């Protein structure tokens, strides 16, 4: 990722890591140079701190070795993680390389944040650092001696880590001459030294509390992070305008002139002034395994309301990985997926593909139906970012199990997800798997699913091979024309027009017109209007085909046309195009208004359906009209088309067209249209047998 600095590191080829770019020296601690790096063993990112001196006994190198020793032996969540120490000689200089977990200087991270929304993050970070200082003073009796913003670094997940242990010393030292704090005090900038250290009064340091020196440094750190700039001189500590009011009393006690009067960091933690909603949320996620189900449900329902007050960078790098881990390993309820996707929307496209998509891919393999529902409901959000190979090999098979789910809402969600996944599938998967599932869904007991299956087929037509289109489309669409559910008939009519380029003149004349004709007197206005528009479209197309034949005959007598296709460029074919873009899903979600329990498990006993087409169509769809069947010429036509044989894809032959031809020959006149009151004979609406009264507001547009 980063180029090696071979010019800087003469013998660097033997080091166990590769050096990357250097962070600005103004953000580094004391004399250390801070580089990004990667390990040669596995390429994992690390931070490399470099310190050089004229000889191995140089005081700076001695202090650097002290820092490495302390990092190696200390373990705390807010202390930088030690990995390796390497000492080499380069160009006549003695060099110490300290390798740690990958971090970024705190000052650089804060500069990328909006000042107006980072207050909670600063308090949370300070809380972690205060915890580390309390651990050093109260549990280990150690003095850090150089607490400041340069001594704090930030991980990829925005956790604050304390380092800069160069002058760290035992509080109750035996001899001040062996004390790193006394020997290397000159390394610490003057403004960060309390009075006793600045004067060299080491006995006062020893006689005071273990936290005395570091309490002063903590006050300096507060000034720097809340003001947003490094502390340039001691007098700047008097500028308290940037300090939050609730922290002011504690800030003043940290900077007391007498060591004994300075505030113990432990007391600051116990006061709770650094706790906030962000800190509580991260703490809850870190301890999710020990929370009960009720606590988890309450927390994740409230979590979305927290997001507006959190800096986007914190949500992306801190909360997102924690949420992903909680969902992946089963600790979080399905509702947490909504928050994860909400945060994911703020990521750049490249980061979204790297951070969110792999998580979602793993979740598709989950057996939790609640998670599957959440994934399907939001697939339009993340679906476009899925790579075709991932959609084909890792996702489709898991999603396809929903085609036969006992819950109608999950079947419909699975169907609609194919509008996103379908274009990413191979021809083999489309023809050998997806089409078989769609053939079964076109005779589903739920009327809205039957209608939307036709919509999906029309929308995916451009992704099928030409042979598949000729073999499947007309058979499927003419089946829809005989459905007892008016939106299904409308969907079939519009699908035929939208896919006109795949229908030859022979098919138009011998199959389309005979199938569409009876619907011109359908009792439902939307169906009649769509049927007449369909007839007009193909009549114009056939007229254009006739003129083309006449032209060719005039040029060369006896020449015949060979089944020229009616394409979108032919006269009258401009109404074609994407079916889904043309009029949307035929009807809306089955699950609207259902409880989570219904969608997650039990199949509803009653399914309601409404018509959501174009405004002109929806306005005329009263419940009385919806119950009316299409006009037919044979009594065997029913409200729900017969299911295809198990050994067939459902669209492999011309049975449907042949049936309609036999119907036309058998009847001398069309059956009188059914009453709009819905009481006469004829077929029943596909969903009326469920006992549900259809209303237009039962569905919302998907």
Percent helix, strand, coil in the chain (nearest 5)?
55, 10, 40
Residue 310, pLDDT score? 86
Q: In CATH, what number is assigned to the domain containing residue 143?
A: 1.10.510.10
Rounded Cα distance between 118 and 311, Å, is 6
Last residue of a domain, one of 304, 329, 363: 363
C-beta of residue 364 within 8 angstroms of C-beta of residue 395: yes
Residue 484 is classified by DSSP as S
- The residues, ordered by sequence, that sit 6+ positions from 200 with a Cβ below 8 Å of its Cβ are 182, 185
Same domain, 38 and 164: no
- One domain, residues 231 and 167: yes
Are 399 and 364 within 8 A, CB to CB?
Answer: yes
Same structural domain, 508 and 653:
yes
Distances (CA, A) of 166 to 94, 95, 178, 505: 17, 15, 14, 87
Residue 24 in any domain: the answer is yes
In a domain, 473, yes or no: yes
Whether 435 is covered by a domain: the verdict is no
Residue 297 domain boundaries: 276-363
* Positions of the chain with pLDDT lower than 70, given as ranges: 1-13, 115-116, 174, 177, 558-584, 586-702
Q: In this structure, are 111 and 192 located in the same domain?
A: yes
pLDDT score of 174: 61
Same domain, 110 and 88: no
Query: Helices 320-328 and 336-344, interaxial angle, to 10°?
Result: 140
In a domain, 442, yes or no: no
Q: Are 194 and 120 in contact (CB under 8 A)?
A: no
pLDDT at 434: 95
- At residue 4, the pLDDT reads 35
| DSSP 8-class letter at 79 | B
Nearest to 316 by CA among 295, 345, 284: 345
Q: Is residue 459 situated within a structural domain?
A: yes
Candidates 255, 309, 69; CA nearest to 167 is 69
Q: Which of 363, 381, 400 is the last residue of a domain?
A: 363
Q: What is the dihedral of CA 242, 246, 252, 253, to 10 degrees?
A: -150
Looking at residue 631, what is its pLDDT? Answer: 56
Q: How many domains does the chain have?
A: 4
Residue 616 burial by Cβ neighbours in a 10 Å radius (0-12, 13-18, 19+): exposed
Question: Do 224 and 248 belong together in one domain?
Answer: yes
Gap between the Cα atoms of 472 and 461, Å rounded: 10
Do the domain assignments include residue 2? no
* Whether the model pTM is above 0.75: no
The label of the residue with tokens 């007991």 reads 445
Give the pLDDT of residue 656. 42
Is 515 within the bounds of a domain?
A: yes
Same domain, 118 and 152: yes
pLDDT value at residue 118: 85
Q: Is the domain of 539 the same as that of 625?
A: yes
Residue 485 shares a structural domain with residue 631: yes
Closest CA to 535 of 518, 558, 549, 557: 518
Q: Is residue 87 part of a domain?
A: yes
Element housing 111 (H / E)? helix 106-111
pLDDT at 577: 47
| Distance between CA atoms of residues 608 and 446, nearest Å | 9
CB-count exposure of residue 338 (10 Å: 0-12, 13-18, 19+): middle
Q: Are residues 288 and 345 in the same domain?
A: yes
Q: What is the percent of the chain with per-residue pLDDT over 70, rounded to a whole number?
A: 77
The CATH number of whichever domain residue 82 belongs to comes to: 3.30.200.20
Quick: pLDDT tens for 636-660.
334 555 555 444 555 654 444 444 4
Residues 91 and 113 in one domain: no
**179-225 confidence digits (pLDDT tens):** 888 888 899 999 999 999 999 999 999 999 999 999 999 999 999 99
Are 556 and 488 in the same domain? yes
* HEC letters along 309-370: HCCHHHHHHHHHHHHHHHHHCCCCCCCHHHHHHHHHCCCCHHHHHHHCHHHHHHHCCCCCHH
- Residue ending a domain, among 49, 76, 102, is 102
């Amino acid at each position: 990722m980063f180029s090696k600095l071979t010019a800087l590191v003469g013998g660097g080829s033997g080091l166990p890591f590769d050096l990357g770019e250097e962070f600005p020296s103004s953000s580094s601690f004391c004399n250390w140079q801070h580089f990004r790096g990667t390990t040669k063993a596995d390429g994992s990112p690390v931070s490399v701190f470099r310190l050089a001196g004229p000889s191995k006994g140089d005081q700076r190198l001695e202090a650097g070795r002290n820092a490495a020793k302390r990092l190696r032996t200390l373990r705390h969540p807010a202390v930088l993680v030690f990995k390796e120490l390497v000492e080499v000689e380069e160009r006549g200089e003695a060099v110490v390389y300290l390798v740690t977990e990958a971090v970024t200087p705190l000052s650089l991270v804060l500069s990328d944040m909006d000042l107006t929304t980072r207050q909670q993050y600063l308090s949370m970070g300070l809380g972690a650092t205060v915890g580390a200082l309390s651990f050093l003073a109260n549990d280990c009796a150690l003095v850090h001696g150089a607490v400041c913003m340069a001594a704090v670094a930030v991980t990829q997940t925005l956790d604050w880590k304390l380092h800069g242990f160069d002058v760290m010393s035992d509080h109750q030292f035996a001899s001040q001459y062996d004390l790193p704090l006394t020997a290397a005090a000159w390394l610490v900038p003057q403004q960060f030294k309390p009075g006793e250290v600045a004067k060299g009064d080491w006995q006062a340091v020893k006689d005071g509390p273990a936290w005395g020196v570091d309490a002063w440094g903590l006050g300096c750190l507060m000034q720097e992070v809340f003001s947003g700039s490094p502390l340039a001189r001691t007098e700047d500590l008097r500028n308290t305008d940037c300090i939050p009011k609730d922290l002011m009393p504690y800030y003043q006690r940290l900077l007391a002139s007498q060591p004994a009067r300075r505030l113990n960091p432990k007391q600051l933690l116990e006061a709770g002034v650094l706790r906030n909603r962000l800190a509580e949320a991260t703490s809850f996620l870190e301890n999710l395994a020990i929370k009960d189900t009720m606590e988890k449900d309450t927390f994740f329902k409230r979590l979305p309301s927290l997001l507006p007050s959190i800096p986007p960078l914190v949500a992306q790098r801190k909360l997102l990985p924690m949420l992903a881990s909680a969902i992946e390993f089963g600790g979080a309820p399905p509702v947490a997926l909504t928050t994860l996707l909400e945060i994911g929307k703020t990521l750049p496209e490249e980061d979204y593909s790297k951070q969110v998509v792999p998580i979602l891919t793993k979740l598709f393999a989950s057996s939790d139906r609640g998670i599957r529902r959440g994934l399907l409901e939001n697939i339009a959000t993340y679906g476009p970012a899925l790579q075709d190979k991932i959609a084909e090999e890792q996702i489709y098979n898991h999603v396809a199990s929903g085609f036969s789910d006992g819950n109608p809402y999950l079947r419909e969600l699975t169907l609609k997800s194919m509008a996103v996944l379908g274009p990413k599938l191979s021809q083999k998967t489309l023809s050998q798997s997806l089409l078989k599932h769609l053939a079964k869904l076109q005779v589903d007991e739920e009327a809205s699913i039957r209608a939307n299956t036709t919509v999906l087929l029309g929308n995916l037509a451009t992704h099928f091979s030409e042979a598949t289109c000729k073999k499947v489309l007309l058979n499927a669409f003419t089946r829809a024309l005989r459905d007892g559910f008016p939106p299904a008939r409308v969907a079939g009519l519009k699908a035929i027009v939208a896919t006109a380029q795949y229908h030859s003149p022979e098919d138009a004349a011998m199959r389309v017109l005979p199938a569409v004709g009876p619907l011109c007197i359908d009792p439902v206005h939307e169906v009649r209007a769509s049927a007449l528009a369909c007839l007009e479209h193909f009549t114009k197309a056939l007229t254009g085909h006739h003129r083309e034949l006449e032209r060719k005959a005039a040029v060369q007598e006896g020449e015949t046309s060979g089944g020229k296709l009616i394409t979108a460029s032919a006269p009258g074919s401009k109404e074609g195009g994407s079916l889904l873009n043309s009029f949307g899903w035929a009807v809306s979600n089955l699950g609207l208004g259902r409880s989570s329990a219904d969608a997650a498990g039990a199949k509803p006993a009653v399914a309601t359906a409404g018509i959501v087409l174009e405004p002109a169509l929806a306005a005329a769809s009263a419940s009385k009209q919806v119950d009316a069947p299409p006009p037919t010429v044979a009594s065997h036509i029913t409200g729900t088309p017969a299911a295809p044989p198990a050994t067939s894809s459902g669209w492999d032959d011309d049975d449907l067209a042949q049936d309609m031809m036999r119907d036309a020959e058998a009847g001398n006149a069309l059956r009188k249209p059914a009453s709009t009151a819905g009481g006469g004979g004829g077929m029943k609406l596909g969903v009326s047998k469920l006992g549900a009264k259809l209303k237009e507001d039962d569905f919302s547009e998907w």
